[in-house]
Amino acid sequence: MRYTFLLFLLVLTDSLPAATPDLVKYVNTLQGTNSKHELTRGNTYPTTALPFGMNTWSPQTGRNGDGWKYQYFKKTIRGFQQAHQCSSWSNDYAVFSFMPVTGQLKVNEDERAAGFSHDNETAKPNYYKVKLDNGITTEMAPTERGAHLRFSFPANGSSYLVLDGYTKLSSVKIFPKERKIIGYVNNGHYVPDNFRNYFVAVFDKPFKSYGTWENRKNTVSAGAVELEGEGAGAYIEFKPGEQVQVKVTSSYISTEQAELTLKRELGNFKTLEATKAAAAEVWNRHLSRILVEGGTEEEKSTFYSCFFRASLFSRQFFEYDKDGKPCYYSAYDGKVHYGYMFTDTGFWDTFRAQFPLNTILYPTMHGRYMQAMLAAQEQCGWLPSWSFPGEGGSMIGNHAISLLTDAWVKGITTFDPEQALKAYLKEATNKGPWGPANGRHGWKEYFQLGYVPYPEYGEATAKTLEYAYDDFCGYQLAKATNKPFYEKIFARQMYNYKNVYDPSTGFMRGRNSKGEWKANFDPFEWGGPYTEGNAWHWQWSVFHDIQGLIGLMGGEKNFIAKLDSVFSEPNKVNVGTYGGMIHEMTEMVMANMGQYAHGNQPIQHMIYLYNYAGEPWKAQYHVREVMRKLYNSTENGYPGDEDQGQTSSWYVLSALGFYSVCPGTDQYVIGSPVFAKATITLEDGKKFVIEADNNNQQNVYIQSAKLNAEAYTANYIRHSDLTKGGILKLQMGSTPALNKGLNPEDRPFSLSANR
Ligand code: CA
C-alpha cells in the first residue's frame, strides 16, 4: 500500500512540468553602467524591461537630452524615464519622465534632483527600486510597452509627481476626475515630422492639486489642465505621505492605441507586485532557454546578465490593434502599416553575434525581422543599416544582406530572396542620402578598382573589407536560391579583400586610386583608412575566406605568428586621424592584452581564427582568458561599449563554447565553454546540450569531443546540428591537445577551401 502510494507520487511528480528556475536573481542590470565619454565599461543603463520590449524604463542621472542617461558614479537621480536606445552615442528618442518630489514643489530637473546610494537600489530586469535620500521610494515593473510605477512619499511629507516633456515638442492633458494624464512627446532621430510617442498614465489615488509647466522657461501654471509646446509638462499633488501607483503605456500610433495597450498589458494587474511577478515569470522562462550548470556563482551572474542584455534586442517597434493584429507606425514613411517592425540596432555591431544568437533561440521573431527589413526598404527605398528608429546609415558596410543570408542558410526563409537581392544590388551600386552605410561610399571605385581608394574616401580599407564580405553574403544567397544573375555579380566582388593586402608589410592598408600605398605606414595608427581601429585590428575582417587570407599572408605559420603577435605586441596607441585618445583606445590599453581590442567590434572574432590554421587550442586558451579577465557582472562588467546586445552575445555564445565567425554560413566555430553543462531549449522544445567534463578555470583545453555519442573532430558545429537537438560532449584538460582539429576537413568554412 505504502509502496503504491510512493509510486503514485513519483509518477505524479514526473508528469508535472519542471518549475521555472529563478534565474532573474543572477541578473544585475547595473552591469556596465559605470561609463563615461572617455572610458566605457559597457555604456549601459539599468534597463527595466521585458525581452524585446518596445519601451524600457530607467532612472535618469544625466540632464534631459544627454545620452548618458544613467552613470553609476553620479550622486543624484532627476527622473525615471521611458527609454529606448541603449547607447549614449545614439542618444535617445521618445523620452519622457516622472520625478517624485517632497517638500516644496520643484519642477526644474536640476532643482528636483535627489541624492541616492547604490545600497538603497535594487536593479533587476523585472523590478527596479530605489530609496532616495529624501525618503521617497520609487519602484518600477515593466510590460512590453508600458510599466507599473509606485512612488511612496515619506510620512506627513508633501507628495508631488512631476511629468517632464523632455527636449522637444510635447503635450500634456490632465483629467483630475479620471486620475489620468495623456500627452505626447516627439523627441527622436531620423523620423518624419509627424513622429509622436503618445502616452497615457493612470493613477490609483486622487489628485489634491495639479498644473502644467514648461521645462524651457521653468514656469508653472497651477490649476492648468492642458499645455502644448517645447518641453510641456505636468505636475500632480497627492495627499501628504501618499503611496501612489501609476500605470503608463505609450504608442507611436495614437492615444487610443496607448489606452488599448494599457488595458491589454496592465489591465489585469492591480498592484505593482502583480506586474513585477508576471515580469519575473516572463524573464525566468526566457532565461531558462539556456540553462547553465557548474561554473561559479559569479560566472552564472555574468552569463545571465549578458543574456539579459542580449535579449533586449530585436527591439519591437510594433503594437497590437483592437483585433490583436500587429501594426506599426513607420519611421520611414510616417504611415501606419500592418505587420511587424523593429528598431534601435546598428547592423555593423550586431550582424556578428547578436542576430546569430536570435537565429538559434528566436527564429520566428528573426523571420519577422527579415520581412520588416524588406518592408522598410519598400517604405524608404533603402535597406536599413542603423535604425534610430528611422534610417541613419551610420558606420560602414551593407550588413542587412548578412542578416538575410544568415537567416536563409539557417532555414529562416520568410522572405522573397529575389526582392532581397534586388534591394542589396541597389545598395551596392549607389550612394544613399544618409550616412556612409546607406548605399556605398566609393561604390564606383570599388567596382572599377576592386577597392575603395584612400584618401579619396575615409575608412576606405575597412569599407573594402566589409563590402567584400557583404558581397559574399549576396553571392551565397543567390547561390542558395538559384539566382545566377546576382551570383555572377557578387562572385566577382567577394575576393576584393585581396586588393588592400600589402605583401611588403603584411597588412591590410590604405591605397589611393593610382594603386599607391599610403605613405609612412604605422600598424599602431588608428583611423585614416580604418574604422575605430588600426591595421592590427582590421587584418582579420575576411570572415568568409580565412583560408584565402592565410594564403595571402604566406601560409599557416605566418598567419599563426601574426595572430600571436596581436597579443604580444605592446598595447601602444598612435591616435592617427582621431587626433586624440578615443575611449576604444583607452579600453585597449587598459585591457593590457597587447593590440587585442576586444572592447570594439572589428577584432571580436579574431581569437576563433586559430581554428582555421591548425592551432585550435590557442583559441580555447584566449577565449577563456578574455571571458575571465574582461567580463564580470558588476557596473564595470564590459571591456567597452556593449552595443545593442552584440558584446553580450559574444559572451553568451563564447560561454556556450562557440561563436558565429561568418554569419551567412551555417557554422559556429568552437572555442571553450565556461560551464560543465549548458542546455539550450529551442523554440520547438528540442534541446541541445553542451557538456564539458572536467571543466574548470585551469582545464580550458578540449581533449576530445563527441556529438550524439559519435567521435567529433570538426572545429565547428553546424546550425542544423543545434536545431536537431542533441549532445555535444567535450572532455576538458589542463594541457593542449596539439593534434586535435588539424585536418583540412575539420576546419571551418572558407570560400577558397570550399570552391
Ligand atoms: Ca563599438
How far apart are the CA of 5 and the centre of ligand 1, in A? 60
Checking if the pLDDT of 142 tops 50, the result is yes
Contact 29, 122 (CB under 8 A): no
How far apart are the CA of 65 and the centre of ligand 1, in A? 21
Maximal C-alpha separation, the chain = 93
Mean pLDDT value across residues 706-712: 98
Average pLDDT, the chain: 96
Q: What is the CATH number of domain 32-289?
A: 2.70.98.10
How far apart are the CA of 703 and the centre of ligand 1, in A? 34
Q: Tell me, what's the pLDDT at 14?
A: 47
Contact 23, 304 (CB under 8 A): yes
Distances in whole angstroms, Cα of residue 352 to Cα of each of 227, 273, 590: 46, 38, 24
What is the C-alpha to C-alpha distance for residues 412 and 591, in angstroms, rounded to an integer?
Answer: 38
Q: Tell me, what's the pLDDT at 2?
A: 46
How far apart are the CA of 33 and the centre of ligand 1, in A? 15
pLDDT digits (tens, 9 = 90+) for 221-272: 999 999 999 999 999 999 999 999 999 999 999 999 999 999 999 999 999 9
Q: Is the peptide bond before 88 cis (omega within 30 degrees of 0)?
A: no
- Helices in 351-453 by DSSP H: which ranges? 354-361, 363-380, 400-409, 417-428, 443-449
What is the C-alpha to C-alpha distance for residues 507 and 148, in angstroms, rounded to an integer?
Answer: 55
Ion ligand 1: residues, CB < 5 A: 600, 641, 643
* Ramachandran category for residue 551: left, alpha or beta (phi over 0 → left; psi -120 to 50 → alpha): alpha
Contact 452, 444 (CB under 8 A): no
How far apart are the CA of 244 and the centre of ligand 1, in A? 41
Q: Tell me, what's the pLDDT at 115?
A: 98
Mean pLDDT value across residues 649-658: 98
φ, ψ of residue 222 in degrees (nearest 5): -65, 135
Cell of 628: 575571465
How far apart are the CA of 676 and the centre of ligand 1, in A? 31
Checking if the pLDDT of 18 tops 90, the result is no
Q: Where are the domains of the chain?
A: 32-289
Question: Looking up cell 544625466, which residue turns up?
Answer: 62
- Helices in 569-666 by DSSP H: which ranges? 583-591, 616-630, 646-656
How far apart are the CA of 753 and the centre of ligand 1, in A? 31
Checking if the pLDDT of 4 tops 50, the result is no
CB-based burial label for 119 (10 Å; 0-12, 13-18, 19+): exposed
pLDDT digits (tens, 9 = 90+) for 57-93: 999 999 999 999 999 999 999 999 999 998 888 899 9
Distances in whole angstroms, Cα of residue 428 to Cα of each of 372, 471, 484, 486, 490: 20, 8, 17, 12, 10
Checking if the pLDDT of 15 tops 60, the result is no
Mean pLDDT value across residues 144-153: 98
Based on DSSP, count helices (H) and strands (E) in the chain, helices before strands.
21, 34
Q: Tell me, what's the pLDDT at 754?
A: 62
How far apart are the CA of 89 and the centre of ligand 1, in A? 10
In sequence order, what are the residues at sequence separation of 6 or more whose Cβ sits closer than 8 angstroms to the Cβ of residue 166? 64, 65, 81, 95, 96, 97, 185, 187, 215, 231
How far apart are the CA of 618 and the centre of ligand 1, in A? 25
pLDDT digits (tens, 9 = 90+) for 190-203: 999 999 999 999 99
Q: Closest Cα to residue 182, out of 195, 196, 168?
A: 196
Distances in whole angstroms, Cα of residue 704 to Cα of each of 147, 697, 699, 707: 49, 18, 13, 10
Contact 491, 475 (CB under 8 A): yes
How far apart are the CA of 72 and the centre of ligand 1, in A? 20
Q: Tell me, what's the pLDDT at 87?
A: 82
Q: Is the peptide bond before 455 cis (omega within 30 degrees of 0)?
A: yes
Mean pLDDT value across residues 421-434: 96
Contact 105, 160 (CB under 8 A): yes
How far apart are the CA of 605 and the centre of ligand 1, in A? 14
pLDDT over 90, % of the chain: 95
Q: Tell me, what's the pLDDT at 1?
A: 41
The conformation of residue 664, written as its DSSP 8-state character, comes to T
Residue 212: beta bridge partners? 221, 234
Contact 564, 536 (CB under 8 A): no
How far apart are the CA of 127 and the centre of ligand 1, in A? 28
Checking if the pLDDT of 16 tops 60, the result is no
How far apart are the CA of 690 and the centre of ligand 1, in A? 30
- The crossing angle, in degrees rounded to 10, of helices 417-428 and 400-409 is 150
CA atoms within 13 A on the CB side of 348: 24
Strand runs labelled E in 287-413: 290-293, 315-316, 319-320, 326-329, 336-338, 342-343
State pTM to two decimals: 0.97
Stated as kind and residue range, the H or E segment containing 182 is: strand 180-185
Contact 605, 665 (CB under 8 A): no
**Number of C-beta neighbours around residue 158 at 10 A:** 18
pLDDT digits (tens, 9 = 90+) for 301-345: 999 999 999 999 999 999 999 999 999 999 999 999 999 999 999
How far apart are the CA of 349 and the centre of ligand 1, in A? 7
Mean pLDDT value across residues 520-525: 98
The conformation of residue 423, written as its DSSP 8-state character, comes to H
How far apart are the CA of 656 and the centre of ligand 1, in A? 23
Residue 691: beta bridge partners? 677, 729
Stated as kind and residue range, the H or E segment containing 636 is: none
φ, ψ of residue 606 in degrees (nearest 5): -60, -45
How far apart are the CA of 648 and the centre of ligand 1, in A? 12
Q: Tell me, what's the pLDDT at 611?
A: 98
How far apart are the CA of 304 and the centre of ligand 1, in A? 21
Cell of 707: 556529438
φ, ψ of residue 561 in degrees (nearest 5): -60, -40
pLDDT digits (tens, 9 = 90+) for 210-223: 999 999 999 999 99
How far apart are the CA of 82 and the centre of ligand 1, in A? 24
How far apart are the CA of 749 and the centre of ligand 1, in A? 26
Checking if the pLDDT of 12 tops 50, the result is no
Reported confidence tier of residue 134, pLDDT bands at 50, 70, 90? very high
What is the C-alpha to C-alpha distance for residues 601 and 466, in angstroms, rounded to an integer?
Answer: 12
Cell of 408: 536563409
Reported confidence tier of residue 11, pLDDT bands at 50, 70, 90? very low
Q: Tell me, what's the pLDDT at 85?
A: 92
pLDDT over 70, % of the chain: 97
How far apart are the CA of 667 and the centre of ligand 1, in A? 24
The residue type found at 687 is K
How far apart are the CA of 200 and the centre of ligand 1, in A? 35
CA atoms within 13 A on the CB side of 90: 31
pLDDT digits (tens, 9 = 90+) for 618-632: 999 999 999 999 999
What is the C-alpha to C-alpha distance for residues 204 and 210, in angstroms, rounded to an integer?
Answer: 15
Q: Tell me, what's the pLDDT at 19?
A: 79
pLDDT digits (tens, 9 = 90+) for 656-702: 999 999 999 999 999 999 999 999 999 999 999 999 999 999 999 99
What is the C-alpha to C-alpha distance for residues 617 and 14, in angstroms, rounded to an integer?
Answer: 42
Checking if the pLDDT of 425 tops 80, the result is yes
How far apart are the CA of 461 and the centre of ligand 1, in A? 18
How far apart are the CA of 643 and the centre of ligand 1, in A? 6
Q: Tell me, what's the pLDDT at 248?
A: 98
How far apart are the CA of 348 and the centre of ligand 1, in A? 9
Contact 313, 359 (CB under 8 A): no
Q: Tell me, what's the pLDDT at 502?
A: 98
Q: Closest Cα to residue 599, out of 70, 46, 41, 90?
A: 41
How far apart are the CA of 599 and the centre of ligand 1, in A? 7
Q: Tell me, what's the pLDDT at 662?
A: 98
pLDDT digits (tens, 9 = 90+) for 474-491: 999 999 999 999 999 999
* Parallel/antiparallel/unpaired status of strands 232-238 and 159-164: antiparallel
How far apart are the CA of 500 and the centre of ligand 1, in A? 23
Stated as kind and residue range, the H or E segment containing 13 is: helix 2-15
Reported confidence tier of residue 136, pLDDT bands at 50, 70, 90? very high
How far apart are the CA of 665 and the centre of ligand 1, in A? 23
